[in-house]
Amino acid sequence: MRILAVNIIALGLMAGSLFYLDSYRKQLLEVRFKLARAEAEITADGLAETPIAGRRALVERVSTDQSLRLRLYDASGKLILDSDSVSGPAYRFIDPDSEPFLLQTAREIDRAMNWVLGTTPVPDYADPPGESVDAWPELAAAKATGKTWVLQRAAPDETPVITAAAPVGVRGEMLLTTRNARDITQDVRDARSTLAVVLTVTLLISIQLSLFLARTIVQPLRALVRAAVRVRLGRDREVVVPRLPERGDEIGLLARALSDMTLALRHRIDAVETFAADVAHEIKNPLASLRSAIETMDKVDDPALRAELTGIAAHDVRRIDRLVTEIAEASRIDAELSRTQFVPVDLEALAGTLVSARAERQFDAGRAVRLVPLGPGPFVVPGDPARLVRVLENLVDNAVSFSPQQAAVDITLERIDDHVRLGVRDHGPGIPAEAREQVFERFNSVRPSDEDFGGHSGLGLAIARTIVEAHDGSLFATDRDDGQPGACLIAELPLEQEDEA
């Protein structure tokens, strides 16, 4: 809006000044045409009432007082009286070549203005070689119509020459008045000078506004560009992108968006680097164990010991395979979910199918996994069924791994306002309050001391939280709400919105 306003103001003033000058000049000429018509008619009436002997004195007085050239023609069209011969020239045309440089420049500006405004060219003034009524078109028109005619021509210095022809009495005589209205040109030039001053002031104001725009628009944009380049080059670990909190316009919004994007990018890069370091650390341990077992195997002849080393190597291979699978899964979840189209998913049906499948395949090693709805359904949420199954599997796997033999693992479903709360409760040792966020960190696995080492990657709960948050939900750990020992992992997901009829 500021840029648009500045451009409109500058262009509007310039266009308005040009039209103003053209209108001003036309008004001046119109006034002079009326004056010339009135002068010609009054003088013609005076000559008609004046005896022939007194006409010479009348012509002399009018020519001298009004700086007007008068020419009187008889009925046959012959010139019988000329004020220049009576009282001397009423005016003299200026030779353009004799004018000073400034006036010549002003005349060139006049021509340029006429060209810009498309002014109709005016014929040059020149006295005819033979003085007669037929040599002047305005005299011929006035004689034919009996009315006063006014025409404009241009003097050698391009100032207006206004002629008026009027009939004198009833004897067929004609009067021609001629005036070199140099004051009109001077008035227009004076007005143009005034406008030039106004435009100069406008130009200075425009320059100041441009500098203001440079300070308020260009400079912040350049600062943002420099910060973006530093982020792209990655030479500075902590690149501060200016947020411009004082700006409430689009540039302020852009600055804060770039700052937030940079922070998110930095966090993502830090997370990737941390994840890569954790991956290297987690894979390094089983690789070291596998390498040690293989190197020792060549030096051992005892079949029992060799069998034990073979078992260790096989265990490490399975552990590495599990890690690679979980890492690949964790790496592609975000990208896949960003492209997934959510559909209505019935969590009760989903959980029931999962419980049946685990029971048939005996995945739970004697633990009973039960589906326990805590209220009426339906429990339908928008989401990706395959990913929600993965969340439920990870939560159940975690609960089963902590629950003692013959203990029950309950999957609960409950509607709370516009959310569905899915809970998985076990009878394990529970999770200390200070560790309830850490269990959702990648490769964080606090397992019982008697559990087989390396049986879990520490990515299951982290993957589950990523999926739940991608579904606009939340996943957290808490105590069981029935007072029994154990942990409860709760996933809250938004209900599917029913279409209104």
| pLDDT per position as a tens digit, 376-406 | 878 899 988 888 988 898 888 888 888 887 7
For residue range 18-63, list pLDDT tens digits in order.
677 778 888 999 999 999 999 999 999 999 999 988 999 999 999 9
Question: How many Å apart are CA 427 and CA 422, to the nearest integer?
Answer: 17
CATH of domain 241-339: 1.10.287.130
The 10s digit of each residue's pLDDT in 286-299 is: 788 788 888 887 77
**Amino acid residing at 315:** H
2-193 topology per CATH: Beta-Lactamase (3.30.450)
Average pLDDT over residues 159-170: 92
CA–CA separation, 57 and 282 (whole Å) = 126
Q: What is the pLDDT of residue 30?
A: 93
Question: Other C-beta atoms within 10 Å of 232: how many?
Answer: 9
- List of residues 6+ apart from 399 with CB closer than 8 A: 409, 424, 425, 426, 428, 487, 489
The CATH number corresponding to 341-501 among 3.30.300.180, 3.40.50.450, 2.102.10.10, 3.30.565.10 equals 3.30.565.10
pLDDT of residue 454: 46
Task: Please name which of 308, 468, 488 lies closest in space to residue 382, comparing C-alpha atoms.
Answer: 468
* Per-residue pLDDT reduced to its tens digit, 99-149: 888 888 888 888 887 787 778 889 999 988 888 888 899 999 999 999 999
Our measurement of the distance from residue 6's CA atom to the centroid of its chain's CA atoms, rounded to an integer in Å, reads: 17
Mean pLDDT, the chain, integer: 82
Spatial CA neighbour of 149 closest among 165, 160, 130, 132: 165
With a pLDDT cut of 90, the percent of the chain lying above it is 21
Distance CA 399, CA 392 (A): 11
**C-alpha distances in angstroms, 257 versus 1, 118, 219, 250?**
21, 52, 17, 10
Tens of pLDDT, residue by residue over 349-364, are 998 898 888 887 776 6
Inform me whether the pLDDT recorded for 329 exceeds 90: no
Residue 430: pLDDT band (50, 70, 90) is confident
pLDDT at 452 over 70: no
The pTM assigned to this predicted structure is 0.48
Question: Which own/partner pairs from 60-64 qualify as long-range (CB within 8 Å, at least 24 positions apart)?
Answer: 60/86, 60/87, 63/87, 63/90, 64/90
Residue spans per domain, the chain: 2-193, 241-339, 341-501
- Report which of residues 277 and 435 the model is more confident about: 435
Q: How many CB atoms within 10 Å of residue 326?
A: 22
Picking from 98, 71, 160, 150, the residue whose alpha carbon sits closest to that of residue 124 is 160
Instruction: Give the pLDDT of residue 115.
Output: 82
The larger pLDDT score, comparing residue 320 to residue 285, is at 320
Q: Phi first, then psi: what are they for 362, rounded to 5°?
A: 55, 50
Question: What does the pLDDT read at residue 294?
Answer: 84
How confident is the model at residue 166, as a pLDDT?
94
The confidence score (pLDDT) of residue 449 equals 47
pLDDT at 265 exceeding the cut of 50: yes
* pLDDT value at residue 453: 44
Q: For residue 128, how many C-alpha atoms fall within 13 Å in the half-sphere facing its CB?
A: 10
